[in-house]
Chains A and B, each alone.
Chain A
Amino acid sequence: MDKPKARPGGGGRRPLGALAHSMPVLIIYAVLLVMLVVLAFVSPRFPSLALTNSLMLSALPLVFAALAQTLVVLVKGIDISVGPLISLVMVVAAALMHDSGWSIAGVVALCLLIGMAAGALNGALVVYARLQSIIVTLATSLIFGGLALFVMPQPGGSIPGSVAAFVTGNVGVIPNTVFILAGCLLFLWLPVRKSRFGQGWYAVGGNETGAFYSGVAVSRVKMSAFIFAGLFSALAGLVLAAQTMTGDPAMGAPYTLNSIASTVLGGTSLAGGIGGAIGAMGGAFVLTIVVDILFFFRVSSYYQYVFSGAIVIIALAIVTTTEFLKSRRAKAVPADDQGHPGGVPK
């Protein structure tokens, strides 16, 4: 056999390496840092355990909702049913923990199962019935919302103090919520992200036909994203119930749009295939803290929504501008003089 003379390829290792595609994530964490500094100046409670604890508590349900949304968006979908599913899980938890024969662990397990079943329903309708995710989840959001009202027509039920303390308490100076979040990320998200399913989300989101031709089990990959999304929505519902110590069939609703906003803020592309948990977390924290800051500035709570919307637009403008400038720069690089754009034989 002839030794191949040409060596296609080229381009050295880039100095930025892994950071090259993390620009949106870096931006959102920069914004978060600025907000924390502002908060430090305006909050009389800074620095204190109470402040971090209340911040973490108010952010945690949205963080979980954002993780759920990010999963679905990664595989080119969108999940409108996140909010109503949170409501459903919340009222089931509050109703069953209130007074029934159920053990607490049993209720938690049931709630997580409800979430996964709901995600599986969404996924099956998208993957096997080939319906659009926005239509499917719009329909199932009505179903989940209706079921929540069926379980609990108005706010009620209760959560045992032990459960609430588990979520709201702290170990030394570290709030329990930090452990809960870290535990879920390390033992739930990370293993799946590093498995074939996790790789599949990015492969399918980036090029579904190509992934199919590469031998990726596209249907199973998409199902896994929806089921995990349901699981994270259920976690959001459980945390919300423990925090408020009650059940409210309307409380989950705002999480649908806020989870989409967090996902987008966190650098996840609505076109699929780009993004992840770290960014989604950052987005959720920014959206939560902005409300706190505005509270200290005594801005009416109605205006807080206006600010949240403005932040989403500004952050997106920054991200798209930097991406645009980057692509302009990339295009400006001329082909080398031998006429091989990039693939330089050595």
Chain B
Amino acid sequence: MIDSLLRVADVGKAYVGNPVLQHIDLELKPGRAHALVGENGAGKSTLVKILSGGIRHYEGRLELEGRPYRPTSPADAQAKGIVAVQQELSLSPFLPVYQNLWLGKRLPGSGAFVLNRDLARRSDELLERYGVSMDTSRWVSDLSLEEQQVVEILKALAFDPRVIIFDEPTSSLGAANTRWLLDLMAGLKARGCALMVISHRLPEIMELADDITVLKDGVKVATVERRAVSSADVVRMMVGRDLEDIFPPKPSRASLDAGAAVLEAEHLRADGVADLSLRVRRGEVVGLAGLEGQGQHALLLALFGVNPPLGGSVAIAGAAAKLHSPSQAIREGVGLVPVDRRTEGIVLPLSISENIALATLERRQRFGCMDRAREQALVDATMAELAIHAPGTQAAVETLSGGNQQKVVLGKWLATQPKLLLLDDPTRGVDIGARSDIYHQIRGIAATGVGILINSTDTIELVGLCDRVLVMFEGRIVSELAGAGITEEAIIGAAVGVKGEHPDG
């Protein structure tokens, strides 16, 4: 039996009494890759931050080669040979690549000074060693996201670490560079490094991992050997219960096809959207899928007039629509629940009723003053309809839970009586109970005749909730899935450009 290099024993972490990780045990062994999988919010990134010194206060113990290990900072962890490729890039945008690669590292012979020529030479050696070609004198802010991710990976490798933690390292890599990284990881394993890999691309996990630990809501479900499981087994462990318990039933395809189209876009072009056509019918919930940043978010922004369409035509409920600004989009009957509700969706210090009324103020004016009675009626109706749990309509929204905050955002847009409702990752950071509520409400809103277009990074959500799923790649729709054809394998396969290839291989 191989001894473990890094051992995690009974580790837990809570934020203001709210546990995000509980009793985690696992071992990283030299020459093996340990995959950490779980839904968004399962606690994966928290564990990464604990191991790499980003979080100092937690419960439990860590051991490095049998000795206690308690990193005080990322620099401390790096000095001990443990480095993480963070999901949020740690690069400095206004420094050249060669300075970024060695940032925070003390190099022999450099003393107190930063010797650019020395750094550039070492960078070229590093790039050569890992088979990368790039002009290292460029500022990081001039690189594409994909190039930045490559730099982030090389930056971690520059430490010659013994333990490397990859947190979603392929999220912005294309197919060729993903291949490069997977080969690189295999090479690191052969050199005796211990790897921890977090990825929501299951096929990569199944190819690379030797051990798989499944996390769910901050608790370890199981650690299994890769050889002993199929990807379907892993998905079942991740979700933990049958989809029917979480998601509302879907209406029949025939009843949806009978509905008129609320959105018809033809050859739509916009910032990040390249010539796509789509249609959403009354009562239909259509999902947008794909790797991050392939135009899903951009499409919603275009339809809501934030990045107005540059070409093509858009019709809302059969009439040609102008979408030059959000206020115009609202008048055309489009609503958007934005991805970052805390900055774009709600005004935290304002009350529930003020937030719900915000998008429709001008509809309830009388002689230029607000009609308080009508506002109160609207707010009461919305709160009842969405089952918002709150001490009262005057409670500040910041005192509510994430799920209830999201319901307030939904309520605000329902008040505009939209024909088309755009949802941008509506359950990000929402716990599973409130999530199920939100799914039922989305279906309820659709049932009143609203067409819904939802962008989601959660594949399980797309499978469980949507009547149709459009998979995007580089601003185009590359695949359309409907009914029983919506499966995780189909979505992921289309997203990474693999067609009809079973991830089990």
Contacts and interface: CB of A to CB of B under 8 A. Distances in A.
B103 A14 contact: no
A4 B187 contact: yes
A289 interface: no
A192 to B, nearest CB: 10
Contacts of A343: 144, 146-147, 150, 173-174, 176-177
B180 A4 contact: yes
Interface stretch (B70-78, B376-384, B405-413): B70-78
Interface in A140-187: none
B90 A342 contact: no
Interface stretch (A44-52, A101-109, A203-211, A280-288): A203-211
Contact of B103 (A9, A17, A203): A203
B146 A273 contact: no
B104 to A, nearest CB: 3
A274 interface: yes
Interface residues of A, number: 50
Contacts of A13: 135, 137
B134 A9 contact: yes
Given A4-B183, A209-B88, A210-B92, A215 B73 contact: yes
B319 interface: no
Interface in B6-21: none
B78 A206 contact: no
Interface in B82-109: 84, 86, 88-95, 99-100, 103-105
Interface residues of B, number: 60
Contact of A6 (B141, B142, B180): B180
A342 B176 CA distance: 12
B112 interface: yes
A214 B177 contact: no
A7 interface: yes
B109 to A, nearest CB: 14
Contacts of A195: 112-114
A273 B92 contact: yes
A199 interface: yes
Interface stretch (A128-136, A247-255, A332-340): A332-340
Contacts of A12: 135
A2 B176 contact: no
B505 interface: no
A335 B172 CA distance: 14
Interface stretch (B36-44, B124-132, B355-363): B124-132
Interface in A288-346: 331, 335, 338-343, 345-346
B190 interface: yes
Contacts of A274: 94
B172 to A, nearest CB: 9
B449 interface: no
Contacts of B370: none
A13 B99 CA distance: 17
A273 B139 CA distance: 12
Given A199-B103, A203-B95, A343-B144, 12 more contacts: A3-B131, A4-B184, A5-B180, A7-B180, A10-B134, A21-B139, A206-B93, A209-B90, A210-B92, A212-B73, A213-B74, A215-B73
26 contacts: A1-B190, A1-B191, A5-B183, A9-B133, A9-B150, A10-B133, A10-B147, A12-B135, A196-B114, A198-B114, A199-B103, A203-B99, A205-B94, A206-B93, A207-B89, A212-B74, A213-B74, A214-B90, A215-B78, A216-B103, A216-B104, A340-B174, A341-B144, A343-B144, A343-B147, A343-B150
**Pairs of residues from A and B, 5 with the lowest C-beta to C-beta distance, nearest first:** A215-B104, A9-B134, A342-B144, A215-B75, A6-B180
